[in-house]
Structure 1
Amino acid sequence: MRWRGNRQSGNIEDRRGMRTPSARGFGGGGGMLNLLPMVFKLFGFKGGLVAVLAIGAYSLFSGNLDSLLGGGMQGLSPEQGQQSQQIEQSAEEKALVRFVSVVLADTEETWHQLFREKGSRYKEPKLVLFRGAVKSACGLGQAAMGPFYCPADQKVYIDLSFYSDLKDRFKAPGDFAQAYVIAHEVGHHVQTLLGVSKKVQAAKKGLDEVKANQLSVRQELQADCLAGIWAHHADHSRQLLEAGDVEEGLTAASAIGDDRLQKQSQGYVSPDSFTHGSSKQRVKWFKIGMQSGQLKDCDTFSAKSL
């Protein structure tokens, strides 16, 4: 990607120097080891850290994280729930922070333009950098869950160490693969602004788990399509993309498909428990958004076939 030297966003909120107390019920030193059984039971995954990362595949935008993690930090604001520490970062991490800021700024360019064309105004989200754990308006978030978006505070949360997992565990290296992750979470923010997220949550009430999961899949695939829309405009309007970038994005979309993650974590695939879509579906909708660049072509909820 041709990102160096481009405008950086003013919406980065750096909490990497803040320590978040352990949530009640984690058993003190148990930490993530105590979290894993709860997460696996709730989401139907039975194996390994890869399964935990699959929960969000990169978004826990629906529901409250405190309810998942035992409610240990209810009543605390993000600032009250964290203690400041001095930030130590490598040159590589500093460059990654600049990259994330540039990508966020470029998504702002795209969505301001598209919202203006619709006669409305785009409200920019904040992107929170954290390490290990973070208090959001949706509750306590853990790095092992992967990046996520919280509609209650309209912020994207990311621990930059996730990008090492994307490269090493998911075999999806490259700066455009990293940009795809941010664009997907910003896609959830767009869904919030358009009222899609609220409608999905209302529609889920009273549904059984399988049907609720099917709605989640359609919402996640739409976020993939919206990420593709950003990529379309980043390329056509600002020429950010270089040779091989599209392939990086498609590899990342494929790498975090429910079928692939379930096969890796539990050895078999359970389509009824999909919440984000298969690798094939995620690639398909990312490509639709990237080729079209138009919101109307990202209507996954009306699509007869995903």
Structure 2
Amino acid sequence: MTRVNRCLNLAWKTQFRKAKLPFAQPKLRFVTTKVSSPCGRWPAGAGGYYCSSNRMIYIGVFRDVLKNPYAPNHAQFMAHEYAHHVQQLMGVMTYYGQSVWRARSTTKLAFSRRLELQADCLGSAFLRQISADLPVEQEQWDSMVEWVAANGHKNWVKNDHGKGSSQAYWMERGFNAGSPSACNTWTAPSRTVA
């Protein structure tokens, strides 16, 4: 995970330089218990999370994670959480916060799905970019996407991360493009962010 984090730092620093935007690395903290942060309590169902208040990624190293050392899955997870930091630096998190401030619960969920699905896409685009260093065989990728399509929504009872099929769609979109430009969930049709 620390190796993937180093790659993420290099890859996103390059992207931000191309866009002539300032870049700062997030902090990374591995934990063995579900800790609180300035953003509040550990989110239910999450294996980790990003807190924009202190710009830290919290990664849970729990027993179930250690039992399943599937490198591409862990890399995708790490890249997803890192993508939330990218969203913070780009101003997407600010836009999200302002948009949901007084919105009804259904609108809040729709915005949450767009935020989370964009992170899925950005994380997958990163995986494609580093495929020479962290080989992801097509069979492994297909298996992971198939699993996400069938199970990706099961941890999120409120449907704030999107249906499994939507998660799989944005993962595939990011991986196939290998570019953040494929990840604009904010203007995408609602059927793709359900």
TM-score, normalised on structure 1? 0.57
**How many angstroms apart in 2 are the aligned matches of 1:203 and 1:193?**
17
Instruction: Report the counterpart of residue 173 of structure 2 in structure 1.
Output: 288
Question: Cα 1:242–1:232, aligned 2, differ >3 Å: closer, same or farther?
Answer: closer
User: Cα deviation per residue 1:176-197 (whole Å; 9 max; x = unaligned)?
Assistant: 1111111110011110000001
The question of whether the paired residues in 2 share the 8 Å contact of 1:146 and 1:162 is answered with no
Instruction: Report the counterpart of residue 71 of structure 2 in structure 1.
Output: 175
In the TM superposition, residue 261 of structure 1 has moved relative to its aligned partner by 4.2
Look up the SS of the partner of 1:134 in the other structure: coil
Equivalent positions of 1:243-258 (< 5 A) are: 243=137, 244-247=139-142, 249-251=144-146, 253-254=148-149, 256-258=151-153
Gaps of 5+ in 2: none
Equivalent positions of 1:206-225 (< 5 A) are: 206-225=102-121
Compare 281-290 and 155-164 and name the one that shifted more.
155-164
User: Cα deviation per residue 1:95-150 (whole Å; 9 max; x = unaligned)?
Assistant: xxxxx110111111211111111112321111101121324222343796421110
Instruction: Report the counterpart of residue 42 of structure 2 in structure 1.
Output: 141
| Partner amino acid, structure 2, of 1:129 | F
**How many angstroms apart in 2 are the aligned matches of 1:121 and 1:146?**
29
Question: Cα 1:294–1:286, aligned 2, differ >3 Å: closer, same or farther?
Answer: same
Runs of 4+ that moved beyond 6 A: none
Equivalent positions of 1:1-306 (< 5 A) are: 100-141=1-42, 145-161=46-62, 163-164=64-65, 167=68, 174-235=70-131, 238-243=132-137, 244-247=139-142, 249-251=144-146, 253-254=148-149, 256-258=151-153, 260-261=154-155, 273-304=158-189, 305-306=191-192
**How many angstroms apart in 2 are the aligned matches of 1:303 and 1:209?**
20
Superposed CA RMSD: 2.4
Structure with higher helix content: 2
The structure with the largest alpha-carbon Rg is 1
Question: Cα 1:185–1:293, aligned 2, differ >3 Å: closer, same or farther?
Answer: same
The question of whether the paired residues in 1 share the 8 Å contact of 2:150 and 2:165 is answered with no
User: Cα deviation per residue 1:163-207 (whole Å; 9 max; x = unaligned)?
Assistant: 53884xxxxx61111111111100111100000011011111221
Look up the SS of the partner of 1:180 in the other structure: helix
| Partner amino acid, structure 1, of 2:42 | G
Question: Cα 1:219–1:143, aligned 2, differ >3 Å: closer, same or farther?
Answer: closer
The question of whether the paired residues in 2 share the 8 Å contact of 1:143 and 1:158 is answered with no
Look up the SS of the partner of 1:133 in the other structure: coil
| Partner amino acid, structure 2, of 1:241 | P
Question: Cα 1:246–1:276, aligned 2, differ >3 Å: closer, same or farther?
Answer: same
User: Cα deviation per residue 1:15-43 (whole Å; 9 max; x = unaligned)?
Assistant: xxxxxxxxxxxxxxxxxxxxxxxxxxxxx
**How many angstroms apart in 2 are the aligned matches of 1:303 and 1:162?**
37
Look up the SS of the partner of 1:139 in the other structure: coil
User: Cα deviation per residue 1:3-25 (whole Å; 9 max; x = unaligned)?
Assistant: xxxxxxxxxxxxxxxxxxxxxxx
Look up the SS of the partner of 1:136 in the other structure: coil
Question: Cα 1:123–1:242, aligned 2, differ >3 Å: closer, same or farther?
Answer: same
**How many angstroms apart in 2 are the aligned matches of 1:190 and 1:300?**
14
The question of whether the paired residues in 1 share the 8 Å contact of 2:45 and 2:155 is answered with no
The question of whether the paired residues in 1 share the 8 Å contact of 2:48 and 2:58 is answered with yes
Gaps of 5+ in 1: 1-99, 168-172, 263-269
The question of whether the paired residues in 1 share the 8 Å contact of 2:49 and 2:81 is answered with yes
User: Cα deviation per residue 1:63-121 (whole Å; 9 max; x = unaligned)?
Assistant: xxxxxxxxxxxxxxxxxxxxxxxxxxxxxxxxxxxxx1101111112111111111123
Question: Cα 1:149–1:166, aligned 2, differ >3 Å: closer, same or farther?
Answer: farther
| Partner amino acid, structure 2, of 1:289 | G
**How many angstroms apart in 2 are the aligned matches of 1:112 and 1:139?**
28
